[in-house]
Amino acid sequence: MISFSFFACEGPAGPAGDIGPQGPAGPQGPQGDEGNANVKISIFTVYDWEWAESNTAYWSYNKYVSIITSEIANSGVVLVFVKSTNSEHWQSLPYTWPGTYEKILRYWYTTNYLEINIYSEYDSYEPTSTYRFKVAAIAGEIVDNAKKGGVDLNDYDQFKDYFKIK
């Protein structure tokens, strides 16, 4: 009769080996939000049916906006620009449409939250247009530098040129 016995023993760990070669690059990620390290941009569309009626002359739209962080809400600045479907130019808010009955578009914000309001002097106004909004969240010290440089942040062209926004 032949018998074999095998025993496994674990010895001390050997020295670390060389680092292997770099792996291949991963796939291209999705396009991120417009902006830079100091300015974050969020763009969204509000259709006429999305406005909530507060009364016949006052309408509001509420939006969760993640770029309005607590740091921005407490010590930075949030700018909002609007463009209607028949316009190519962004206007800063608050914005007043001149005419027989003025309409005023304005906003307020807190952390992660933006409310946009339309107020009309005409008692039975109802929004009938689609609007694009561009929200810019800017760190406080960057705003100070822009103002010291003579930049009017309510002028969209000056804003986009200074911060290199598309």
The mean per-residue pLDDT over the stretch 147-165 comes to: 89
Domain boundaries, the chain: 39-163
Residue 164, sorted as left (phi over 0), alpha (psi -120 to 50) or beta, turns out to be left
Q: Indicate if the pLDDT at residue 11 is higher than 80.
A: no
* pLDDT tens by residue, 21-60: 877 877 776 655 455 667 999 999 999 888 887 777 788 9
State pTM to two decimals: 0.73
Q: Report how far residue 131's alpha carbon sits from residue 118's, in angstroms, rounded to the nearest whole number.
A: 12
